[in-house]
Amino acid sequence: MENIGIAINPSKDNKNTILNMVIENVKQVFNIEYIPIYNSFDIKELDLSSLDLLIILGGDGTLLGAARELSDNFNAPILGVNIGNLGFLSSTEISDLDSALKKIKAGDCKIQERMMLNCEVNLEESKKELKALNEVVVARGTLSRMVKFKIFVDGKLYSIFKGDGLIISTPTGSTAYSFSAGGPFIYPDLEVITITPICAHTKSMHTIVLKGESIITIMVENEDDEIYLTVDGQKAIEMNDKALITVKKNTKSIKLLLFNDYDYFKVIRKKVLNNSKECDGEKF
């Protein structure tokens, strides 16, 4: 790899201590002189098509935000380096960076593609399009009444229900908000979409797993109360009553660089189920 860029969440490294260390390590391992540095919050308009690898320094939120903002001509893999808290989406911890870089140079790694969602919101006065790597959430405001949802899949009515909200999730997002609301874990490189209710008031709505090519249309009714649409828990839009939402697979996926010894189930135990001490080392 000759062209390696680094995107960093500056709030995680105010004095550039981590950034400078990473730059030095990358230069030494790959024997390259110049490494472009980007603010992870400001890459939307940048042309990164020449990169062979983009290293993202931060936590899950940093990677999610960057994934949504990357342009369609970006095709390089992403190496997530956790300098935040959970780091579920990260490929390595900052403490293991030197070992991780040497594995990459030796070819001891693989690329896993993760599907993203495209969300189109038709409001009375405008139309908005958003991308999501984890999920699209439609939910009531804090003091609002329950929302009435009509859900259509490929033009056919699936369910009408009242509740606090609705989560449309990718496999990557199945371990996030969808899991908290009772949704299933989905292996991350599959191409399926899950719809999970949030506190459904009736039994007419259950989590459903759909093929990745499904087109989901949602009509929301909440009179004059607040309704919000949120992508990846970061970007929110206030909705009006009778808003129409369409969610489908995005034409672009994100390529995550993982190592050959990557163990999805170990990551699930350690960072989601929190019982790794009981399970690590267990074998048939």
Question: Does any domain span residue 162?
Answer: yes
Give pLDDT tens digits for 205-264. 889 999 999 999 999 987 777 889 999 999 899 887 778 999 999 999 999 999 999 999
Q: Judge if 147 and 89 occupy the same domain.
A: no
- The pLDDT assigned to 72 comes to 83
Query: Which one is predicted more confidently, 278 or 91?
Result: 91
Q: Which of 268, 86, 271, 279 is nearest to 187 (CA)?
A: 268
Query: Which one is predicted more confidently, 124 or 69?
Result: 69
pTM for this prediction = 0.90
Is residue 60 annotated as part of the catalytic site, yes or no?
yes
Half-sphere exposure of 180 (CA within 13 A, CB side): 9
- The pLDDT assigned to 17 comes to 94
Q: Judge if 224 and 201 occupy the same domain.
A: yes
Q: What is the CATH number of the domain that holds 228?
A: 2.60.200.30
Segment 72-83 shows an average pLDDT of 93
- H runs (alpha helix) in the chain: 17-30, 60-69, 97-106, 177-180, 264-268, 276-279
Q: Judge if 218 and 96 occupy the same domain.
A: no
3-state SS class at 174: helix
Packing angle of the helix pair 17-30, 97-106 (nearest 10 deg): 30
Q: Judge if 247 and 126 occupy the same domain.
A: yes
Checking if the pLDDT of 88 tops 80, the result is: yes
Give pLDDT tens digits for 150-192. 999 999 999 999 999 999 999 999 999 999 999 999 999 999 9
Question: Does any domain span residue 280?
Answer: no
- The pLDDT assigned to 1 comes to 79
Q: Are 72 and 252 in contact (CB under 8 A)?
A: yes
Q: Judge if 92 and 177 occupy the same domain.
A: no
The end-to-end CA distance of the chain, in Å, is 39
Alpha-carbon distances of 159 from 150, 179, 194, 201, rounded to whole Å:
6, 20, 14, 13
Q: Which domain holds residue 212?
A: 116-251
Q: Judge if 146 and 246 occupy the same domain.
A: yes
Q: What is the CATH number of the domain that holds 101?
A: 3.40.50.10330
CA distance 109 to 106: 8
- The pLDDT assigned to 6 comes to 96
Mean pLDDT of the chain: 90
Q: What's the domain count of the chain?
A: 2
Q: Which two tokens stand for residue 237?
A: 């839009």
- The pLDDT assigned to 284 comes to 55
CA distance 268 to 11: 27
Question: Does any domain span residue 281?
Answer: no
Q: Judge if 152 and 240 occupy the same domain.
A: yes
270 pLDDT band, cuts 50/70/90, is confident
Which residues are annotated as part of the binding site? 60-61, 134-135, 145, 162, 164, 175-180, 234
- H runs (alpha helix) in 218-261: none
Q: Which of 60, 98, 154, 261 is catalytic?
A: 60
Which residues are annotated as part of the binding site for NAD(+)? 60-61, 134-135, 145, 162, 164, 175-180, 234
E-state strands within the chain = 4-8, 37-39, 53-58, 78-82, 92-93, 109-114, 117-122, 127-132, 135-140, 147-153, 156-163, 165-169, 192-198, 208-211, 216-221, 227-231, 235-239, 244-249, 254-259
- The pLDDT assigned to 276 comes to 44
